[in-house]
Amino acid sequence: MNRNTRRFAPLRRLLALLHARNLEFVRDRRTLGWNLLMPFGIVFAFAFIFSGPEKPLFKVGVLTPPGVTLAQAKAAHLHPLLGTRFMDFYTPDNADAAVRKLARHQVDLLLDLRPAAAPAHYWVNPDSPKGYITEQLLRLNDRTAVRNTVTGKAVTYVDWVLPGILGLNLMFSSVFGAGYVIVRYRKSGYLRRLRATPLTAFEFLSAQVLSRLLLVMTIATLVFVPLTWIVGLHVAGSGLLLFLLASLGALSLISLGLVVAAYVSSEELAGGLLNLCTWPMMLLSGVWYSLEGASPWLQRIAQGLPLTHLLDGARAIMIDGAGIAEVWPHLAILAGMVLVFLIVSAAGFKWRVE
């Protein structure tokens, strides 16, 4: 070996390794394809979700007459306020829920256009600054509207977003924690060794689920309890119900991770697919902002995501003080998802690299 070669030996070794790794990367077409598609997907998703006109300044709930959609009400000029620009109009699922949101300053005004309510009635929270402005705009257009008031302390963004952040943490820990470990076990041959014992796929998966559930719920509790003291996080409803909901949510997310882990042998591909599972939830499940007012099909997609039900249920319990009668649909949907995900993962579970 000559002096030059020896002097640049570390660089040569580095380049040799770099070349080999690049070849490996290029030849692993699934991983390469994923790495190319993923950034496009994320950028397009963000661009699509946040594209469109300027964000509205005020949010108004509109109770429309039976059989009349908001778009029809606007087209028919059922009320002059509906023609106001930069206002976010939405149709609440029910009047009581809308009034509760008004009390918490999450909605600025509630307009009731149902036939029995003619002339129009409206509800406003006198303690809400944005409610005051919205009411002034309403009065400019309609002096006959009948005023109703509700009072209540504003729910701050921190109150609203903290359950989302806790849920997000739970999601990552659940989906990735369970998924990656099993893919690694499979790749190392450990699963194949276990397969040679009387252990069944269901037993193995159940053990993984329970182990991960114990871990994530312990961590979630250890994070949550101090938060109630440090930032004054308040749970208006039952703590036990919240724990039950969080456990079911975590179970559904762990099971979702297992669906990916059941079929995949490459850690890199598993990483991509697990990202594919988590990104839509991060964007559409209401972690950072409410999807109220977003397009109906986007909301329908969100309803198919476990994190949406976990967060909607958690906020209902923590902020509204909802009981089991109100959150049981979320519990039932999460339980159904657990069942489906576990069946799918157990049915297709691979013990060894093909």
Q: Which residues bind other proteins (CB under 8 A)?
A: 185, 188-190, 192-199, 351-352
Alpha-carbon distance 345 to 103, whole Å? 44
Q: How far is the CB of 184 from other proteins (least distance, A)?
A: 9
- Closer residue to other proteins in complex, CB, 114/192: 192
Q: How far is the CB of 188 from other proteins (least distance, A)?
A: 3
At 214, list the tokens. 């114990």
Q: How far is the CB of 351 from other proteins (least distance, A)?
A: 8
- Closer residue to other proteins in complex, CB, 81/182: 182
Q: How far is the CB of 193 from other proteins (least distance, A)?
A: 5
Which residues are CB-neighbours of 222 under 8 A, at least 6 positions away? none
- Closer residue to other proteins in complex, CB, 198/296: 198
- Closer residue to other proteins in complex, CB, 189/329: 189
- Closer residue to other proteins in complex, CB, 34/204: 204
The label of the residue with tokens 């620009």 reads: 85
- Closer residue to other proteins in complex, CB, 14/199: 199
**Sheet hosting strand 58-63, strand order edge to edge:** 87-90, 58-63, 109-112, 121-124, 146-149
At 350, list the tokens. 């691979």
Q: How far is the CB of 343 from other proteins (least distance, A)?
A: 22
Q: Where are the alpha helices (DSSP H) in the chain?
A: 3-7, 9-27, 29-50, 70-75, 95-103, 129-141, 157-188, 190-195, 201-230, 239-263, 267-284, 296-303, 306-319, 324-347
Count of other CB atoms within 10 angstroms of residue 19? 10
Note whether 252 and 338 are within 8 A (CB). Answer: yes
Alpha-carbon distance 207 to 203, whole Å? 6
- Closer residue to other proteins in complex, CB, 32/199: 199
Q: How far is the CB of 192 from other proteins (least distance, A)?
A: 6
Alpha-carbon distance 154 to 126, whole Å? 11
Closest CA to 25 of 183, 17, 39, 185: 17
Which residues are CB-neighbours of 236 under 8 A, at least 6 positions away? 317, 318, 319, 320, 321
* Rg of the chain in Å (alpha carbons): 26
Q: How far is the CB of 257 from other proteins (least distance, A)?
A: 19
Q: How far is the CB of 189 from other proteins (least distance, A)?
A: 5
